[in-house]
């Protein structure tokens, strides 16, 4: 069912990777999903039955807060994160699909400097929201085509703080639930991996602040080729919030509808027992958000 060189790349990416949000004036923490989190992986296909573990280390950096017209204000953000993820594929069939489930928990050091915006410089460390993925279904359509559907839930159990009833700059996680369905299609043949993964965040309202972060759509795209033990290619992401942020029933500012375009290279090497993957996602376009770029280094193995 599965191409060897792609098998371990999927493990962490099946489970969404987060923890890059930052406090900015007049807005709560950003959308839970990390743009480009599932790039590099054949998201339409699950690996063979077994337990899989991935540890994804990444650095996220931003230098500007960009408004809706593209104008930037200086702001510095850096997250250094570790995201261990466990995936279980029990070998069960459901609706003609392979079934899987997983859990991911991120820990990060979160540095923010908003002094140029009249704020302050802070450093904090803590856990992001626990991410449960109770259902992953993958169908083998034949001729190298696979498709999958999954749903993830973000628990409001991470590190968050309030000052004067508003989230503090040192608040790292989101104090609300998020439900996240996804749908992916992969073409896996002759060493090629062409994958598109569609992800949607539906956020609940923060009960402390009555702030409701708008729903958002994410498209992660992968185009790679495996040659021997090496895999090389390009990865990218397009993200857009499609409903307004609201507080006490009123639209916040211009709605704070963010947009991202990210693009970059991927390189992986399969050692046999484990696979190491490197990805860089460079910010190309940002609106109503920080101009964040990501560097990922991950190791995945079956046990």
Instruction: Return the pLDDT at 118.
Output: 85
Q: Given a cut of 80, is residue 302 above it in pLDDT?
A: yes
Q: For the segment 208-265, what is each residue's pLDDT rounded down to a tens digit?
A: 999 999 999 999 999 999 999 999 999 999 999 999 999 999 999 899 999 999 999 9
Q: From CA 176, how far away is CA 153, in angstroms rounded?
A: 11
By the 8 A CB rule, do 241 and 223 touch?
Answer: no
Q: From CA 184, how far away is CA 37, in angstroms rounded?
A: 13
Q: Is 10 exposed, middle or buried (0-12, 13-18, 19+ CB in 10 A)?
A: buried
Q: For the segment 28-80, what is each residue's pLDDT rounded down to a tens digit?
A: 665 689 999 999 999 999 999 999 999 999 999 999 999 988 999 999 999 99
Instruction: Return the pLDDT at 168.
Output: 85
Q: How wide is the angle at C-alpha 87 spanned by C-alphas 125 and 134, nearest 5°?
A: 90
Domain CATH for 140: 2.40.160.40
Q: Given a cut of 60, is residue 294 above it in pLDDT?
A: yes
DSSP 69-106: TS-EEEEEEEEEEEEEEEEEE---EETTEEEEEEEE--
Q: From CA 92, how far away is CA 46, in angstroms rounded?
A: 12
Q: What is the residue whose two structure tokens read 């609201």?
A: 246
By the 8 A CB rule, do 15 and 104 touch?
Answer: yes
Q: From CA 274, how far away is CA 17, in angstroms rounded?
A: 20
Helix/strand/coil for 165: coil
Q: How many domains does the chain have?
A: 1
Q: Mean pLDDT throughout 83-111?
A: 96
Q: How wide is the angle at C-alpha 31 spanned by C-alphas 52 and 218, nearest 5°?
A: 70
> What percent of the chain clears pLDDT 70, i.e. is strictly above it?
90
Boundaries of domain holding 79: 4-302
> What percent of the chain clears pLDDT 90, i.e. is strictly above it?
79
CA 43 to chain CA centroid, Å, is 13
Instruction: Return the pLDDT at 169.
Output: 85
CA neighbor of 154 nearest in space, from 105, 215, 217, 220: 105
Residues pairing with 72 in the sheet: 66
- Distances 110 to 84, 174, 271 between C-alpha atoms, Å: 17, 14, 32
Stretch (H or E) spanning 22: none
Task: Name, in order, each residue with C-beta under 8 angstroms of 192's C-beta and a sequence gap of 6 or more.
Answer: 224, 225, 226
């Amino acid at each position: 069912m599965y191409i060897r060189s792609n098998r371990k790349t999927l493990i962490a990416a099946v489970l969404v990777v987060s923890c890059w949000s930052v406090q900015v004036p007049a807005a709560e923490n950003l959308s839970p999903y990390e743009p480009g989190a599932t790039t590099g992986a054949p998201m339409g296909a699950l690996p063979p039955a077994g337990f899989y573990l991935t540890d994804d280390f990444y650095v996220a950096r931003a230098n500007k807060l960009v408004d809706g017209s593209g104008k930037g204000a200086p702001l510095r953000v850096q997250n250094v994160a570790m995201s261990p993820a466990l995936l279980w594929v029990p070998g069960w069939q459901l609706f003609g699909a392979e079934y899987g489930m997983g859990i991911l928990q991120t820990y990060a050091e979160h540095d923010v400097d908003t002094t140029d915006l009249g704020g302050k410089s802070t450093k904090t460390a803590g856990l992001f929201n626990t991410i449960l993925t109770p259902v992953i279904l993958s169908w083998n359509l034949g001729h190298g085509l696979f498709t999958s559907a999954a749903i993830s839930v973000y628990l409001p159990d991470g590190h968050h703080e309030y000052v004067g009833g508003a989230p503090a700059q040192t608040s790292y996680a989101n104090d609300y639930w998020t439900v996240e369905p996804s749908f992916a299609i992969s073409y896996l043949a002759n060493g090629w991996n062409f994958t598109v993964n569609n992800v949607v965040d539906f956020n609940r309202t923060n009960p402390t602040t009555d702030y409701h972060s708008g729903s958002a759509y994410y498209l992660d795209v992968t185009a790679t080729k495996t040659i021997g033990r090496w895999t090389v290619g390009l990865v990218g992401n397009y993200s857009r919030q499609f409903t307004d942020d609201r507080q006490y029933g009123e639209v916040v500012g211009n709605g704070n509808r963010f947009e991202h375009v990210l693009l970059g290279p991927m390189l992986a090497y399969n050692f046999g027992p484990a696979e190491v993957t490197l990805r860089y996602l460079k910010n190309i376009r940002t609106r109503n958000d920080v101009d964040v770029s990501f560097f990922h280094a991950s190791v995945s193995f079956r046990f």
